[in-house]
């Protein structure tokens, strides 16, 4: 019986790639804010485009996963800013002094 590992390798790699992008988004937002969202866009488009050109199934799948993760990270970057504003994650004091984060709107009753 011959075993094929491609699907399992893609699954494990996808899990690891998504896991790697989580701290990348957090660190990017903390150190630079959302101003480099375009880097994720360009990288994502390049990776997805390259996935169409790679004949190897494993290579094409991994490029597609990295590209999709980059594109998904754009939204996560802006959501991370909101999480910081809510106090769920620490704010960067340097960005806070520059007025990067909006103030909490407090309900007055």
Rounded Cα–Cα distance for residues 14 and 12 (Å)? 5
pLDDT per residue over 35-71, tens digit each? 999 999 999 999 999 999 999 999 999 999 999 999 9
Q: DSSP secondary-structure letter at 85?
A: H
Domain residues of the chain, as ranges?
Answer: 6-92
How many Å from the N-terminal Cα to the C-terminal Cα in the chain? Answer: 71
Instruction: Give the pTM.
Output: 0.86
Confidence band for 101, pLDDT divided at 50, 70 and 90: confident
Angle, CA of 79, 52 and 19, to the nearest 5°: 35
Cα distances from 22 to residues 4, 40, 60, in angstroms, run: 30, 13, 22
Name the nearest CA neighbour of 24 among 99, 81, 77, 86.
77
């Amino acid at each position: 019986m011959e075993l094929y590992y491609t699907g399992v390798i893609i699954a494990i790699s996808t899990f690891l790639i998504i896991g790697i992008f989580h701290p990348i988004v957090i660190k990017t937002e903390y150190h630079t804010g959302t101003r480099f969202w375009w880097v994720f866009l360009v990288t994502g488009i390049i990776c997805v485009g390259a996935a169409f050109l790679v004949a190897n199934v494993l290579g094409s799948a991994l490029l597609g996963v990295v590209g999709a993760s980059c594109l998904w990270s754009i939204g996560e970057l802006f959501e991370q800013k909101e999480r910081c504003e809510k106090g769920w994650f620490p704010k960067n004091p340097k960005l806070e002094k520059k007025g990067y984060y909006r103030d909490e709107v407090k309900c007055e009753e």
